[in-house]
Chain A
Amino acid sequence: AQSVTQPDIHITVSEGASLELRCNYSYGATPYLFWYVQSPGQGLQLLLKYFSGDTLVQGIKGFEAEFKRSQSSFNLRKPSVHWSDAAEYFCAVGAWMDSSYKLIFGSGTRLLVRP
């Protein structure tokens, strides 16, 4: 069955430090992959997406993610975290299930930023 795993429930980093959020998926074909960010009390905002082509994709707010087919991973990275990056991050995979396309979300990783 299709699934998305975000193994880290919480991550704390210092402001200015680098960040990597992990995401693993289970899907038989090449997936459509997404990262969303949710600030407290807000809806979800799309950070970046991968469909095909270059496996390193750039997104908004200085984020990037790398698709690694051999590891079934799509990890999110940022070289220098800002305090405003504190939020919850969701990885998602777009998959065909029961003859329709659905977006399946991971359980999320909450990022805390130390001053």
Chain B
Amino acid sequence: NAGVTQTPKFQVLKTGQSMTLQCAQDMNHEYMSWYRQDPGMGLRLIHYSVGAGITDQGEVPNGYNVSRSTTEDFPLRLLSAAPSQTSVYFCASSERQGYHGYTFGSGTRLTVV
């Protein structure tokens, strides 16, 4: 089925460890983004990309890196995990920067201990 695929679904990290959250979409969407969801705070934009080779920071980019080498993939890297990064992470994609709504992945629940 067409859509946005996120892996892994769950992950536990120790403080200081690094990891990459994977996101792939098969809809040929130009725009991809990463959000984190924390209780009572809605979804906050971490990084986004308007096309292959182009990325930019969102509202809460510190501690995260991204790259966009292909249209399909938009991985999110945590270089040195901190407990404050415990959250649920969602990847989303859309045509034309989201004028017609985003398609979301099912999320990655990350716990940093």
Contact = CB atoms under 8 A, between A and B. Distances in A.
A67 to B, nearest CB: 15
B96 to A, nearest CB: 9
Contacts of A104: 45
A42 B109 CA distance: 11
Contact of B58 (A4, A9, A102, A106): A102
A46 B42 CA distance: 15
A43 B99 contact: no
Nearest to B100: A49
B97 interface: yes
Contacts of A36: 104
Nearest to B57: A98
Interface in A85-115: 90, 94, 100-108
B42 A107 contact: yes
Interface string A59-95: 0000000000000000000000000000000100010
Nearest to B56: A100
B102 interface: yes
Interface of A: 4, 9, 32, 34, 36, 41-46, 49, 51, 90, 94, 100-108
24 contacts: A9-B40, A32-B99, A36-B104, A41-B106, A42-B107, A43-B90, A43-B107, A44-B90, A44-B92, A44-B104, A45-B104, A46-B101, A46-B103, A90-B42, A94-B99, A100-B48, A100-B50, A100-B56, A100-B97, A101-B98, A101-B99, A102-B58, A104-B45, A106-B42
